Amino acid sequence: MQRPTTMKEIIIRMRPDSDKCHQKALKVAAAVSGVESVTVAGRDRDLLLVIGDGVDESKLTKKLRREVGEAEILELRTLDAGGGGGAAASLQLMTAAGARNGKGGGGVVFAQSSPYHG
């Protein structure tokens, strides 16, 4: 019996110095086990959108920090794999503030779709 797939969408804020750093970040993230898609997003191209199954977000972030530079998890969403057309029926959002210090300002919020991809 197959276990249900739990897709994650991880949005990581980075401070890349150049296009070379963007390319290196894409390569590093794509090499992590379970990653299916990596995209540079954001107005300043400072966001890395990673989608995958079974991705360890803390290992991914540590690897990016070690090999590319500053990186922090901005959002972590668990996508419902049963949704049709790539749209998730329900998403769980964990904000960076809540993940870092466990105090107010973070928490869990439910949303309908990611603002970073269509």
Q: Over the stretch 15-61, which tens digit does the pLDDT of each residue have?
A: 877 778 888 999 999 999 999 999 988 888 889 999 999 899 999 99
Residues 6+ apart with CB under 8 A from 31: none
Asked if 33 and 54 touch (Cβ cutoff 8 Å), the reply is yes
Predicted confidence band of residue 93 (pLDDT cuts 50, 70, 90):
very low
Asked if 52 and 35 touch (Cβ cutoff 8 Å), the reply is yes
Which residue has better confidence, 54 or 102? 54
**pTM > 0.75: yes or no:** no
The CATH number of the domain covering residues in 6-111: 3.30.70.100
The angle subtended at Cα 86 by Cα 59 and Cα 80, nearest 5°, is 60
